[in-house]
Amino acid sequence: MPPNLSLIRGKKCTFRKAIFPGTYIQGDGAIGELPAVINRFGGKGLIVASPSAMDGPLAKLRDQLPQGTTQVRFNGQCSDTELVRLASILSKHGPSVVAGAGGGKAIDAAKVLADRAGLPAITLPTIASTEAPCSACAILHNEQGVAQQVHCLRRNPETVLVDSGIIARAPVRYLTSGMGNALATWFEARSCERTASPNECGGFRTFSSITLARLCYDT
């Protein structure tokens, strides 16, 4: 099993550390890569999808998905109740990989499900206003949608598929919110750099992370 974040952090912050998703794919039509990605991870997927993702972009891919891949409609909250329901479905179908499609809560639920089952995760965001697709943590909520805790995962998603066409066609408020979040990344990173603050993987920031944060602002 891969080490968890507590082991990665260690006792002292003496190294520069960064952790990334295994593969990042972005572009108009990138969701079309999903069948090949599922095949890469054993060919039997369980896709946890928001209603808009299932009835929209995923519906067009239904006939192209590997045989044995199952789509499950996400119920709206990344909660203990929903995770128990999804775990029961996972146990029944025995997938080789878990994918999450939709907004942050759907993706977080898929990541936690994969993490608890020891399976790789694929993420397919349909909106820009979430950091869930690339991160190694998930926010657990209660049934009323109130955040309860941060769940630290053992690893980042193996593959992130960002279909820029889907993102651009989402409601404007999600796109502008995502743009604002990206702009703020530079100021957050610069503050951590100036104060020599440790990052979440227990080390100091890397030059690549600072450069990417600056690109978020400049672009």
Identify the pLDDT of residue 3: 44
32 located within any domain: yes
- The structural domain count of the chain equals 2
Render each residue's pLDDT in the chain as its tens digit; 219 residues. Answer: 344 444 444 455 678 888 889 999 999 999 999 999 999 999 999 999 999 999 999 999 999 999 999 999 999 999 999 999 999 999 999 999 999 999 999 999 999 999 999 999 999 999 999 999 999 999 999 999 999 999 999 999 999 999 999 999 999 999 999 999 889 999 988 998 898 888 777 788 889 989 999 998 997
Domain boundary among 131, 155, 170: 170
The CATH code of the domain that includes 39 is 3.40.50.1970
Asked whether residue 148 falls in the same domain as residue 51, the answer is: yes
Identify the pLDDT of residue 13: 60
Greatest CA separation found in the chain?
52
Domain boundary among 135, 155, 170: 170
Identify the pLDDT of residue 219: 79
Q: Are strands 159-163 and 147-152 parallel, antiparallel or unpaired?
A: unpaired
Identify the pLDDT of residue 186: 92
Asked whether residue 96 falls in the same domain as residue 74, the answer is: yes
Question: What range defines the domain where residue 204 resides?
Answer: 171-219
pTM above 0.95, yes or no: no
Asked whether residue 103 falls in the same domain as residue 30, the answer is: yes
112 located within any domain: yes
Asked whether residue 66 falls in the same domain as residue 160, the answer is: yes
Asked whether residue 147 falls in the same domain as residue 209, the answer is: no
Asked whether residue 55 falls in the same domain as residue 127, the answer is: yes
| Token pair in block for residue 86 | 């999804």
Q: 207-213: which pairs have CB atoms within 8 A and are 24 or more residues apart?
A: 207/16, 208/18, 209/18, 213/185, 213/186, 213/188, 213/189
